[in-house]
Amino acid sequence: MKILVVDDEQLVRWFMDRALRKAGHEVITASNITEASERLQSEEIDLLFIDLRMPEGNGTELIKKVVNLPNRPKVIVCSAFITSELEEEFREKGICILKKPFKLDELNYALKNCLGG
C-alpha cells in the first residue's frame, strides 16, 4: 500500500515513515499542503495521513480536494486539534481520526480501523 504522510513536524514524519515501512508499506512524506497536493496529482496514493494545522495551510483544505478525487485514497486525520464537531464531520465523510500525541499501537489501530480490518 502506498501511503502519503503530510505533517510539518519532521519527527512525526520520521516516526510514521519508519513504523509504516516496517509494517510493509511504501511511504511518501510531505511537509506542507503544496507538496502534498503535488504528490497526490503525480502519484497513486492509497492512504493519506494528514495533520490539520500546518504553517503553509490548513489540512481541511486538502481533505476537501481529496474527497472529490475519482480514486479517492482513504484518509486518516492525525492532529491534536480535533474538535467534536470536526470529528463528527470527518466520520460522516468516512475519514478516520488519530489524535496526537499517539503511540505505535494507536497508529496501528487507526490504520487497521481505517482499512476495515
What are the tens digits of pLDDT across the range 50-71?
A: 999 888 878 888 888 888 888 8
Overall average pLDDT of the 63-91 stretch: 89
**Summary mean pLDDT of the chain:** 92
Q: Name the grid cell of 41.
A: 496529482
Task: Give the integer Cα–Cα distance in Å for 3 and 75.
Answer: 10
What gap in Å lies between CA 78 and CA 91, rounded to an integer?
A: 13
Calpha distance 99→71 (Å, rounded) = 26
Q: Is the Cα torsion angle 15, 19, 24, 25 positive or negative in sign?
A: negative
What is the SS3 assignment for 56? coil
Residue 98, H or E segment: strand 96-99
Which domains, ranges and CATH numbers included, belong to the chain?
A: 2-114 (3.40.50.2300)
Name which of 2, 37, 7 is nearest 20 in CA terms: 2
Q: Which range among 9-18, 37-46, 60-69, 89-98 shows the weakest confidence by mean pLDDT?
A: 60-69
The three cell numbers of residue 5 are 504522510
Q: Which of 65-69, 70-74, 99-103 has the lowest mean pLDDT?
A: 65-69
